[in-house]
Structure 1
Amino acid sequence: MTRFATTRWSLFLDARDPGTSRRALEEICRAYHAPVLAYVRGHGYSQSDAEDLTQEFFARFLEGRWDTGVDPHRGHFRAFLLVAVRRFLISSDVAAHTLKRGGGTLQLNGDQELEQIEAPEGDSPEQAFHRAWALAVLERSFARLREETARAGKSQLFEQLSPYLGERPATDEYQRMSEELGLRSNTIAVAVHRLRARLRELVREELADTCGGPAGVEAELHALRDTLRHLDG
């Protein structure tokens, strides 16, 4: 069994340690900014308004320590974050309308309030959220792989081969790279294979940080693949 099959949940554990909490919380906000922004934009807000709302959401996340409501044994952080931003947007939208009407006390009737917000044609806000989430996981994994290869002194090789980590290069591409890099085509093929394998491991690590247990990792991995298949389509 792979050593990444167990849950690390490291960012959230660090967030609950007084010595590392602020750094970890800020890292969580940076890591998952894009899915929240995509969800808000999916409800028809302008880019600037969506950015403002996203910043406010994460400010409340930090101040309210919403991370303490995350239980790795009871679900995935992806689902938790989606529910949190949905409720936040409900309260923000209803509060704005209440103030415009000169009202006072804010009362919510559940998610149906959010359905009254006009969404643009195309993907639903939830689809936009899941797509941005999948891309964020890949980007974080890719960035970690770039850092690892840089520490190993192989940055140039990585930059040459990175375009082929998503799709296997054709045979003639190996030959072309062989001539450019001065390496045997078999050596390049092995390097691509190893980078692809390591990238998969890093993706699993990223997912393990957001869910509980091996079954949760597999479920998140399946969801990520399904989302990316629709993206390619």
Structure 2
Amino acid sequence: MSDPVLSLRNAALSLDGNAGRVDILHGISLEVARSETLGLIGPSGSGKSSLLMLMGGLERATGGEITALGRDLTAMNEDALARFRRAHMGVVFQSFYLIPTMTALENVATPLELAGARDAFDQAQSELEAVGLAHRAGHYPSQLSGGEQQRVALARASAPRPEILLADEPTGNLDGANGAAIMDLLFGLRDRHGATLVLVTHSRSLAARCDRVIRLADGRVVEPERAAAE
């Protein structure tokens, strides 16, 4: 694969716990192409979310090398990683992580303001329109349903037009109808803006929408990378 957006070489993650050192990921090597959608599947505890966090620099690898857009994430300090994510990545979690004291519009505008956008609130309003929530712009998270909160979180992640979108079980806290709507929006944003999308999911139907699927178990890739349609 030429010029991958994401590249992992023997990436490993170990964490210190009460019972001692715990090995979470073991020598993961993979590449993700520009505008590709990659699904990470596997049982709970298999390391899917940890792998996604490594890709986003939200966890620091304890072995191997991780590059994103040609930059070595393993060589960056925390400040550099935060700046890189702000400029190039959007992250959507199962828990929405909206700021409770801010309206939907303010939540979406925050990363744009941090990036120095002069028209942050105009852009944020456009993003809320894109996810069907223009009429809820002035509402606080506590006034929104779970599906609406995830739409706001998705608008916030996509507003700065990131090259890489990472989604960790983005439909996990939603019912079937809301989950399907969120995934339609997520893939639609990918299609419109050309972002590379990596997502963790337990849903077979969601994984089937990805260009490629990787299954993990016990912190290792246990099945060859395959096209979702196979």
Structure with the higher strand share, 1 or 2: 2
Name the TM-score class by shorter chain: under 0.3
TM-score by structure 2 length? Answer: 0.25
Larger RCO of the pair (alpha carbons < 8 Å, separation 6+):
1
TM-score by structure 1 length? Answer: 0.25
